[in-house]
Structure 1
């Protein structure tokens, strides 16, 4: 009788939790940019104009915090410089090294134009910012989708899911920061925010159904991989079922009386759910997907480090965001005190 022993080598994860923070924050920044750019064309005192302060604060915070997470993920400054010294037009990462700084620069310029109430300039920057935001959404989703060695990532539905979950997370962030802006959550246009959230929910449902339909037709390998993981591993079953439960919970929250959305406690609950969905989706995509071997059976075991590459780094990014929110909301309050929230075109 012959005994054959199979050994599986231990591999370090290629994408650290820093990547989760970066994709989460850059998704919020781009979607907040799209919403803020649209609100820039709204009439004064309209629903869009009332949403603009919260959208601008979220844009400023996420646009500053996202590159910090990216640089931490790169670890070595030389790797960042390499994108410029040896530019490769066919690499999504090289393209991102150009697109991301352009987006951040336009985002900060947009926030400055809003601060100085220069409406014509704000609208010009809004058009450029929207185009830059779309380019970053495409690049950030595509640089993961092109990795054909992992079937879970290699699907055109991944960038769409990134964008939709980021859209919901950005709206959740606006509900969160609005409580520290002048007027609190009551100053938000409830009907508009509710409509934008429903647009993201419906988009996510349609995307999931399309993914299932193409997968069952044998045209998407990621669906087949997901089916195998669901059938063989309880941890993945819990992840998939948890995603469904979270989605249903958000739908139930949004199905209640429309006016409740602006209630301080209710808005905090909705904001927490939307932000959690956006973050957990990226954690599953990046960290849990890396536990699946490219070749072989079983799962790799991953334990979250306590240092800067794990829990400490995540806490640091959270602290940075809290500090930026505190600064931004204080500046907006000062703006109201000096100008009494008058918004006249320049």
Structure 2
């Protein structure tokens, strides 16, 4: 049914989209008096804009912060597309899938991913300063559209599995919630890691501290969603039917997730390394007054590894018991 390439596609697409959402919000919150100058229609004195004809002129600190973040997000989105293409098998099959008038969750996801990537390229160019004469208002609209597209991709990665109602473990509304929160956390740490690697962290220590606090809050929500997702499955609540072999498959999937042969990956790779450790590090980073690159990069690595492990565990626990029963 779903192989490792789809797991990577779900992870990379969600991570890239999460980073795009974070970057778009940061761009929307950037003070206009710091990142724009008066353009056509101004007084020509070079004073900061007060009217509608502001032109984006990001200073070096903002270019070094936001532009590399967009590049990192685009790498994740591009790799996700490569995984999707490799799973489909041939480029003509993907083109046929995209142009087919029939509704398909995979087609919707691919289109959402493509739109998100195109908008991210434009936003990255705007903040990189390579293309000048960007109207500040136009960039704000672009970033709002990017935020919506990114949110659609984040939500889709969970809806894709939920739509496969033949797998009882996935047929729950808690799965998209879990995937959205995981994608957001992965996106936050990708932005944090990019800022540390480019040296922009020193100029945005306060912003990064607040991002670490946001990530800590998201991790708490993700842990709660994971607990409800696993708990309802263990209690037999899920799927379109809760009788017969469907109930047996749901019970087998839930047990495989938390107590099966790969349970060590769930508890060690996801719960401990992917949630508990980065939460503790985020709390420390949120309280510090200056950057701690080593702590930030360790926290980012843990969150990203945990996001990949979560998707792998959910996919494997849903499929293998069902395939075993069918055989």
Fold shared, TM-score > 0.5 on shorter chain: yes
Q: Determine the structure 1 residue equivalent to 2:210.
A: 192
Q: Determine the structure 2 residue equivalent to 1:240.
A: 266
Task: Kindly indicate whether the alpha-carbon contact (under 8 Å) linking 1:60 and 1:107 is maintained by their aligned counterparts in 2.
Answer: yes
CA displacement at 1:192 relative to structure 2? 1.5
The superposition leaves residues 212-257 of structure 1 with CA deviations (integer Å, 9 ceiling, x where unpaired) of 5645665325974444326763x23323322332222223223336
Matched position secondary structure for 1:262: coil
Q: Determine the structure 2 residue equivalent to 1:110.
A: 123
How has the CA–CA distance of structure 1 residues 186 and 271 changed in structure 2, closer, same or farther, with 3 Å as cutoff?
farther
Task: Kindly indicate whether the alpha-carbon contact (under 8 Å) linking 1:212 and 1:223 is maintained by their aligned counterparts in 2.
Answer: no
Deviates more, 1:209-218 or 1:132-141: 209-218
Alignment partner of 2:14 out of 27, 31, 37: 27
Q: Determine the structure 2 residue equivalent to 1:11.
A: none
Q: Is 1:254 aligned to residue 282 of structure 2?
A: yes
Task: Kindly indicate whether the alpha-carbon contact (under 8 Å) linking 1:74 and 1:80 is maintained by their aligned counterparts in 2.
Answer: yes
Paired with 1:293 and 1:25, the residues of 2 have a C-alpha distance of 26
Q: Determine the structure 2 residue equivalent to 1:72.
A: 86
CA displacement at 1:85 relative to structure 2? 4.0
Q: Determine the structure 2 residue equivalent to 1:56.
A: 70
Deviates more, 1:262-271 or 1:79-88: 79-88
TM-score of the superposed pair, with normalisation by structure 1: 0.71
The runs of 5 or more residues in structure 2 that have no matched partner are 36-60, 240-248
Q: Determine the structure 2 residue equivalent to 1:280.
A: 309
Paired with 1:146 and 1:227, the residues of 2 have a C-alpha distance of 18
Q: Determine the structure 2 residue equivalent to 1:100.
A: 113
CA displacement at 1:129 relative to structure 2? 0.9
Paired with 2:144 and 2:74, the residues of 1 have a C-alpha distance of 17
Task: Kindly indicate whether the alpha-carbon contact (under 8 Å) linking 1:211 and 1:223 is maintained by their aligned counterparts in 2.
Answer: no
Q: Which has the higher contact order (CA 8 A, sep 6+)?
A: 1
Paired with 2:202 and 2:6, the residues of 1 have a C-alpha distance of 31
Give 1:157-236 correspondences, 5 Å limit: 157-184=174-201, 187-188=204-205, 189-211=207-229, 214-215=232-233, 218-221=236-239, 224-229=251-256, 233=260, 235-236=261-262
Q: How many residue pairs align between the two structures?
A: 282
Task: Kindly indicate whether the alpha-carbon contact (under 8 Å) linking 1:37 and 1:126 is maintained by their aligned counterparts in 2.
Answer: yes
CA displacement at 1:277 relative to structure 2? 0.8
Task: Kindly indicate whether the alpha-carbon contact (under 8 Å) linking 1:16 and 1:287 is maintained by their aligned counterparts in 2.
Answer: no
Alignment partner of 2:23 out of 28, 33, 36: 36
Q: Determine the structure 1 residue equivalent to 2:321.
A: 292
- The Cα RMSD (Å) is 3.0
CA displacement at 1:80 relative to structure 2? 0.6
How has the CA–CA distance of structure 1 residues 182 and 164 changed in structure 2, closer, same or farther, with 3 Å as cutoff?
same
Task: Kindly indicate whether the alpha-carbon contact (under 8 Å) linking 2:19 and 2:69 is maintained by their aligned counterparts in 1.
Answer: yes
Paired with 2:92 and 2:292, the residues of 1 have a C-alpha distance of 48
How has the CA–CA distance of structure 1 residues 58 and 70 changed in structure 2, closer, same or farther, with 3 Å as cutoff?
same
Paired with 2:236 and 2:265, the residues of 1 have a C-alpha distance of 23
CA displacement at 1:145 relative to structure 2? 1.0
Task: Kindly indicate whether the alpha-carbon contact (under 8 Å) linking 1:22 and 1:67 is maintained by their aligned counterparts in 2.
Answer: yes
